[in-house]
A and B are shown apart, each in its own frame.
Chain A
Amino acid sequence: MKELFRGELVRLSAEEPETYAKADVRWQRDSEFVRLMGGELALSSEKKIKEWAEKRLEKGPQPERYPFSIRKLMDDKLIGFLSLWVDLIHSEAFVGIGIGDRDSWSKGYGTDAMKLALRYAFLELGLQRVSLTLHEYNPRALRSYEKAGFRFEGRTRKEMMREGRRTDVLWMGVLREEWLELQNGVNS
């Protein structure tokens, strides 16, 4: 059986609320990062973030949500987060990723993490489809997701407005059969 949590450049992990809050409180102040990732721009205290992360743990592991942290294999540095939100009935997941550590941008870490996420979704969760959305103004992400196997499915026009400009949200998806084919065609 394949190793699920280790890729070529990164590994998927879990963090204590304290660690999560320490990283998030820093990264939330990088407005370019937040705008690229598609988050909400707000500045919360580390205390609040930690409380919120602790509250989420209260319910225990839920089959609808799989949160991961991303750490570099090289030095185990925490560089970002990735989550899968599962629709159990339709066997589909939405994936969201954010690399908060700027030094780690454009080095293939995101693509590697995304590949792990897909492997987990299809081989461990047995899902039929993984989807995501991204902003038109984030071409780096588009290239990364294409490399990971996602296909473009359309754009909701002018859904966002930032800096006086209207931009589209792009939708992508990869089906189980497509992903399996990709694995067979390429040697792991």
Chain B
Amino acid sequence: MFDIQTQLFEGPDIRFGPIDHEKDPEIEARWTHDSDFMRMMDIAPARPLSAAMVKKQYEKLEKQMEEDKNFYYFTIRARDDDRLIGRASIHWIEWANGSGHIRLGIGAADDRGKGYGTQALRMLLRFAFAELNLFRLTAFVPEYNEAAIALMKKFGFTQEVCRRKALERDGCRWDLYVFGLLADEWQKQAKA
């Protein structure tokens, strides 16, 4: 069935949108002060940023998307008031191999645990496989990020690599998992 009518960027409670350079920096700057969120979101050290610094980062992201052409960055926004609630991206795309990496995070603690991550990942996967025609997606998830691991498994990702003690955080070393999902695997569970 050839369905181009279903909106790729709309979910039940969330939608994907472009960066809003006026409103978003302030909100994301606040997230960077939440070390719990930052430690889940990124392997690089948590460091609080000002709105001005976030704005600069946004500018770099847009420049990268334009120049490298192997990177898609989406803001995740609440359907009702369009406010920024997270970020999702497909990056390091190698067109010759049909491969890409994904990352996604819901920024504010109040917005977590509501299924927004699931909705966002579902949309991201559809975009990657049914629009970009990628063959496989990869995600790196630290051992301590149980919510992300559960989300990976829910969508049929396989844990393919265990990079032993690759991270150090909070005084101990952690494993870093590499998850992978192939297009035909996604097809099966998207249909189900």
Binding site for B on A (CB under 8 A): 89-92, 128-129, 131, 153-161, 166, 171, 173, 175
Given A90-B166, A90-B168, A171-B178, CB of A156 within 8 Å of CB of B135? no
CB of A91 within 8 A of CB of B168, answer yes
The reply to whether the CB of B112 lies closer than 8 angstroms to some CB of chain A is no
In the docked arrangement, what's the CA distance between A127 and B97, Å? 32
Taking A128-B165, A161-B135 as known contacts, 16 extra A-B pairs with beta carbons closer than 8 A to each other, sorted by chain A number, are A89-B44, A90-B43, A92-B166, A128-B168, A129-B164, A131-B163, A153-B163, A154-B160, A156-B136, A157-B182, A159-B99, A159-B138, A159-B180, A160-B97, A161-B97, A175-B165
The answer, among A129, A156, A175, for a CB contact under 8 Å with B161, is A156
CB of A129 within 8 A of CB of B166, answer yes
In the docked arrangement, what's the CA distance between A169 and B11, Å? 34
Chain B residues with CB under 8 Å of A171's CB are: 161, 163, 178
Chain A residues with CB under 8 Å of B136's CB are: 156-159
Chain A residues with CB under 8 Å of B135's CB are: 158, 161, 166
Report the nearest B residue to A133, measured CB to CB. Answer: B161
User: How many residues of chain B have a CB within 8 Å of chain A?
Assistant: 24
CB of B97 within 8 A of CB of A159, answer yes
In the docked arrangement, what's the CA distance between A90 and B97, Å? 29
Chain B residues with CB under 8 Å of A91's CB are: 168
Report the nearest B residue to A168, measured CB to CB. Answer: B160
CB proximity of A181 to chain B, nearest CB, Å: 15
CB of A128 within 8 A of CB of B173, answer yes
CB of B165 within 8 A of CB of A154, answer no
CB proximity of A134 to chain B, nearest CB, Å: 13
The reply to whether the CB of B49 lies closer than 8 angstroms to some CB of chain A is no
CB proximity of B86 to chain A, nearest CB, Å: 24
Chain A residues with CB under 8 Å of B162's CB are: 153-154
Report the nearest B residue to A171, measured CB to CB. Answer: B161
The 17 sampled A-B contact pairs (Cβ below 8 Å) are A89-B45, A89-B168, A92-B166, A128-B168, A128-B173, A129-B166, A154-B161, A154-B178, A155-B160, A155-B161, A156-B136, A157-B160, A159-B99, A160-B99, A161-B96, A171-B163, A171-B178
CB of B138 within 8 A of CB of A156, answer yes
CB proximity of A109 to chain B, nearest CB, Å: 27
CB proximity of A111 to chain B, nearest CB, Å: 22
Chain B residues with CB under 8 Å of A158's CB are: 135-136, 182
In the docked arrangement, what's the CA distance between A156 and B100, Å? 12
CB proximity of B183 to chain A, nearest CB, Å: 9
In the docked arrangement, what's the CA distance between A188 and B182, Å? 45
CB of A157 within 8 A of CB of B43, answer no
In the docked arrangement, what's the CA distance between A91 and B43, Å? 12
Chain A residues with CB under 8 Å of B164's CB are: 129, 153, 173, 175
The reply to whether the CB of B17 lies closer than 8 angstroms to some CB of chain A is no
Chain A residues with CB under 8 Å of B158's CB are: 157
The reply to whether the CB of B52 lies closer than 8 angstroms to some CB of chain A is no
The reply to whether the CB of B98 lies closer than 8 angstroms to some CB of chain A is yes
In the docked arrangement, what's the CA distance between A90 and B169, Å? 8
CB of B98 within 8 A of CB of A161, answer yes
CB proximity of B159 to chain A, nearest CB, Å: 8
Given A90-B168, A161-B96, CB of A173 within 8 Å of CB of B163? yes
CB of A156 within 8 A of CB of B165, answer no
In the docked arrangement, what's the CA distance between A41 and B130, Å? 28
The reply to whether the CB of B109 lies closer than 8 angstroms to some CB of chain A is no
